[in-house]
Structure formats: C-alpha cells, structure tokens
Amino acid sequence: MLNNIGIPGLLLIAVVVLVLFGRGKVSSLMGEVGKGITAFKKGVNDGTEEIADASETATDVTPETDKDKA
C-alpha cells in the first residue's frame, strides 16, 4: 500500500500537514517526538546496564545434591 508513495507523495503529505497544523505546532510536535526517542534510548541503556550488573553478582545457589541430577 505505501510502496508507491515516492518522494513527490511524501512532499505533498508534508505540505498538507504543514498547512493544516502550522509551522509552530509541527515544530513542537517534532520536539516532543525527539524527547520521546531520547527517553526511550536512555531507558534501554539503563535496562541493559542493570541486566549486566545483575549477571555479575549472580551466583549458583543450587544445592550440591541437586547438581548431579541435571
């Protein structure tokens, strides 16, 4: 469905959005999208660091008698 849009179609969509919402609204909306992407990346990095920290402190707590059963 969206494979046939091309550059002229994207430019037309951009002009229509600009006319409907105005330059200020589109600019503030893109700023909010940028903040959201930044927050998402920060969250992913924090989660990755947390997992790495947890794996460093993880120890095997399996009782010695149960280790032979596996």
Q: How far is CA 45 from CA 30, 36, 52, 64, in A?
A: 23, 14, 11, 36
Q: Residue 37: what pLDDT?
A: 96
For the cut 60, the answer to whether the pLDDT of residue 21 exceeds it is yes
Q: How many domains does one find in the chain? A: 1
Looking at the domain assignment, is residue 50 inside a domain? yes
Q: Residue 23: what pLDDT?
A: 83
Looking at the domain assignment, is residue 49 inside a domain? yes
Non-local (6+) Cβ contacts of 5 within 8 A are: 13
Looking at the domain assignment, is residue 6 inside a domain? no
For 23-67, how does the pLDDT look when each residue is reduced to its tens digit (9 = 90+)? 888 888 889 999 999 999 999 999 888 888 777 776 767 777 766
> Alpha helices of the chain — where are they, by DSSP H?
6-57, 64-67
Boundaries of domain holding 36? 23-55
Looking at the domain assignment, is residue 13 inside a domain? no
Looking at the domain assignment, is residue 27 inside a domain? yes
